[in-house]
Structure 1
């Protein structure tokens, strides 16, 4: 019970907000915006994939506290101090990218504060025309009038 009370009374516990769930099509760009309370502008912001018991062991990407865009592989993060928000983008989303992630703010004296977002990835729609009656020759040519 004491741990729960300390957690509730800790300042900035709910300092980060974001979407509960986002969905991206396979192969598309995923974009997640998280906001934070004023006062955390110069703190590092991060994006991590949750693993065991909703904990993040390793950040996928992290800012230095500045507004410079940081990119690692397919993922980038950019902080906007004026808007008190940061944007995480990931290109070329795969089905393996689905899962629970945290966007968060690192704090010096307290535990980092974060928000959990569930990322869902939908399979790309098929673009083939096999088996359809698209053209008179069956090769996808327009019908002859």
Structure 2
């Protein structure tokens, strides 16, 4: 057998790993006592294959914890480890509940190939179970006057510990839960469910509440920032009280309507009389101007007529005097 053939046979079991991949995150962290869900993605050609989840660093020395071909009638909620395959989304998910610190280590998302010369396609991830605290949201905000709730998570060993909520930089401001796991005053309420989380609720935010705070359990703590935004300003609606000083409007009655009608008729009549008087005055003035301009025109016509006659007949033996009556002027013509 040639050297090339030997190398090919040696690499054959690993060829699928290069062509078809299973992927997941390299590392996951979870608080002790909490639950963890891990997604494992695969290529379309693996949709009908068996998937599995096992604990270990190598496939040959891996302890199987869940398989998709395990059809035992067990409620997934009651199982420590459960697996669910979604071939439409090309992902299978693994859920582990009530995690213990001793369960930290390497785990494998695997697709079982099943061939003699073919290795399974797998992806490795490092799961870390830690004890301590964390916050669901490390930054919270709310409008002035509104309520906001912060959720703080703690690991199993701190379930019985006193929980505190403190303003950063001022340990005298710390509020602690009592024996019943709660605290409440006019502005803040704290509730511990004793199963891994406690909540802090600001009942009515004020601008001065903007600050960094600490969720604390035992010697563990985690920081949370609360930001209070100004309440939006609105224009108050106009109410009837704004017009309290104004006299009430008088209702329209038959008498008031009648008086308004008479007044309107009087205004119309007066306006008509004034209009007619103006028209009459303008008419008289135009007539006088027309009459004044007509007399000089008549004189000129007569003068032109007599001038023509004198050129044809010669000098008149007897001169004639013509008087033109006019109120405004007296013109005397001698011929």
- What is the TM-score of this pair, normalised by structure 1? 0.76
- Deviation of residue 6 (structure 1)? 3.5
CA contact (8 A) 1:44 1:65 kept: no
The answer to whether residue 16 in structure 2 is matched with residue 11 in structure 1 is yes
5+ long unaligned stretches in structure 1? none
Greater CA radius of gyration, 1 or 2? Answer: 2
Q: Which digits, 9 at most, give the CA deviation of each residue in 1:50-90, with x for residues without a partner?
A: 05x57443311100299xx9847311000000111100001
Counterparts of 2:23 and 2:70, CA distance in 1: 18
- Deviation of residue 108 (structure 1)? 2.2
After TM superposition, list the pairs within 5 Å mapping 1:109-128 onto structure 2: 109=115, 110-125=118-133, 126=158, 127-128=161-162
Counterparts of 2:75 and 2:67, CA distance in 1: 7
Counterparts of 1:70 and 1:142, CA distance in 2: 39
Counterparts of 1:99 and 1:80, CA distance in 2: 26
Counterparts of 1:129 and 1:83, CA distance in 2: 41
Q: Which moved more, 1:121-130 or 1:81-90?
A: 121-130
Q: Which has the higher contact order (CA 8 A, sep 6+)?
A: 1
- What is the TM-score of this pair, normalised by structure 2? 0.35
1:63 to 68, 72, 78: 68
CA contact (8 A) 2:13 2:119 kept: no
CA contact (8 A) 1:35 1:86 kept: yes
The answer to whether residue 71 in structure 2 is matched with residue 37 in structure 1 is no
> What secondary structure, in the 3-state scheme, does the structure 1 residue paired with 2:128 have?
strand
CA contact (8 A) 1:17 1:34 kept: yes
- Which residue in 1 is equivalent to 2:85? 79
Name the structure with the higher helix share. Answer: 2
Task: Name the count of aligned residue pairs.
Answer: 138
Q: Which digits, 9 at most, give the CA deviation of each residue in 1:1-21, with x for residues without a partner?
A: 92764355x134452100100
CA contact (8 A) 1:101 1:117 kept: yes
> What secondary structure, in the 3-state scheme, does the structure 2 residue paired with 1:11 have?
helix
5+ long unaligned stretches in structure 2? 1-5, 134-157, 165-170, 187-335
